[in-house]
Amino acid sequence: MSQVEVRNVTKRFGRTVALDDVSIAFEDGGFFALLGPSGSGKTTLLRTIAGFHFPDSGSIRIGERNVEKVPVEKRDIGMMFQNYALFPNMSVAENVGFGLRVRKVGSAEETRRAREALELVQLGHLGDRRPSQLSGGQRQRVALARAIVTNPKVLLLDEPLSALDKTLRVDMQIELKRIQREVGITTIFVTHDQEEALTLSDRIGILRDGRIVQAGPPREVYNRPVDAFAAGFLGEANWLSEGALAGLTLPADPSGRRFATRPEALAISAAAPAPGMNAVRGQLVQRVFAGAMATCLVEVDGQPWKLIARDRDIPELPGDGAVWLAWAPQDTLVVPA
């Protein structure tokens, strides 16, 4: 059964509709990413689940309880904030113990559980420090420990890694995933970074203009986007113009549909590819070397196409730049026009 369920939730701020009849279920123990451009409503959805906003209509269930009218502090959630929001006037241990103290668990148990949570994030030795004495990555871990120490029913993360630099961020992603598995807590995660969403989550939901465009396992959303927006937002898509469709093997009737390919599904060559493959002619604009991988920008029937491949898999290309791009017919993406 799903641990958190949002049903027909609408939320307006003045005249803007931030959430428009949103329904979505979050499975028990799952790691769910909410992905979308800024203004898509993903943060509003997260904050509505948290209880910082009350929906204008619709219902929200956490565990067995309908909570749409319950204030934040009574919802039994854990939340991590973009800027960590550690209390500057309390030590690390006091920060982590805050939720336990509020719940009046008793000081011995508070100390024990706060220490356990800190050990889980490998900061057991820093309990006496002040937040200001910690590095960015350490603050991050304290914020995580603080969010899970009360064993909440759901963990909500609001772009928690965006303040970290690239390398630290990848480390934290792995760490976050490990801890989430270990604790087994249902986790909902807002991000605008599609790579992060793909790396971390079991399921993702793509939002646009306050509506859920598509929700499902990352692979499914990536390989079978429901519309052009989903195809273009999660990963990149090379769109086939109508004139280029002739002679291609298409998975569906072209009327009322658009077709695309993913950059990594393409192969580039100077000569025409083997029969059975779909292929289009193009003009090479630029080849960018990036270590293991390389990117080729190719103009196909007036459209900019992008190809990503291992640099060693790209053959010698002719000086005039006339190339073929080929892909397997089953790798063609189909969306309604």
Partner 1 sequence: MSPIALLGRIWLVLILIFLYAPILVMAAMSFNASPFYQLPFEYSSKWYSDMAGNEQIVTAAIRSVLIACAVTAIATAVGTAASVALFRYEFRGKRLLQALLFPPIAIPWLITGTAMLVFFFTIGIGRGTPAVIIGHVALALPYVIVTVTARLSSFDVTLEEAARSMGAGAWTVLRRVTLPWIAPGIVAGALFAFAVSFDQFVVSYFLSKPGDSTLPVLIYTAIRKGFTPEINAISTIIIAVSMAVMFLAARYSKFGGDR
Residue in this structure with the two tokens 């009360």, named with its chain if needed: 150
Do 147 and 78 touch, CB atoms closer than 8 A? Answer: yes
User: What CA–CA distance (Å, rounded) separates 237 from 215?
Assistant: 19
Contacting residues toward partner 1, per CB under 8 A: 50-52, 71-74, 76-79, 81-83, 85-89, 98-99, 102-103, 146-147, 150, 156
User: What CA–CA distance (Å, rounded) separates 181 from 175?
Assistant: 10
User: What CA–CA distance (Å, rounded) separates 256 from 298?
Assistant: 26
Closest distance to partner 1 from the beta carbon of 210 (Å): 21
> Where would I find the H helices in 121-227?
136-148, 166-183, 194-200, 218-223
The neighbouring-strand residues paired with 255 are none
Beta carbons within 8 Å of 148's beta carbon, 6+ residues apart: 78, 117, 120, 155, 179, 183, 185
Closest distance to partner 1 from the beta carbon of 185 (Å): 14
Residue nearer to partner 1 on the CB measure, 157 or 314: 157
Query: How are beta strands 2-13 and 57-62 bridged, if at all?
Result: antiparallel
Residue in this structure with the two tokens 């409503």, named with its chain if needed: 41
Residue nearer to partner 1 on the CB measure, 32 or 305: 32
Closest distance to partner 1 from the beta carbon of 50 (Å): 6
Closest CA to 160 of 152, 177, 172: 172
Residue nearer to partner 1 on the CB measure, 71 or 217: 71
Residue nearer to partner 1 on the CB measure, 142 or 213: 142
Closest distance to partner 1 from the beta carbon of 289 (Å): 43
Closest distance to partner 1 from the beta carbon of 183 (Å): 16
Do 183 and 113 touch, CB atoms closer than 8 A? Answer: no
C-alpha separations of 326 from 10, 216, 269, 280, 312 in Å:
45, 29, 8, 7, 17
Residue nearer to partner 1 on the CB measure, 87 or 289: 87
Residue nearer to partner 1 on the CB measure, 146 or 262: 146
Residue nearer to partner 1 on the CB measure, 86 or 126: 86
Closest distance to partner 1 from the beta carbon of 79 (Å): 4
Query: How are beta strands 77-80 and 238-239 bridged, if at all?
Result: unpaired
Closest distance to partner 1 from the beta carbon of 160 (Å): 12
Do 158 and 46 touch, CB atoms closer than 8 A? Answer: yes
Residue nearer to partner 1 on the CB measure, 78 or 218: 78
Closest distance to partner 1 from the beta carbon of 97 (Å): 10
Beta carbons within 8 Å of 133's beta carbon, 6+ residues apart: none
Residue nearer to partner 1 on the CB measure, 75 or 208: 75
Closest CA to 45 of 225, 194, 230, 207: 207
Closest distance to partner 1 from the beta carbon of 102 (Å): 5
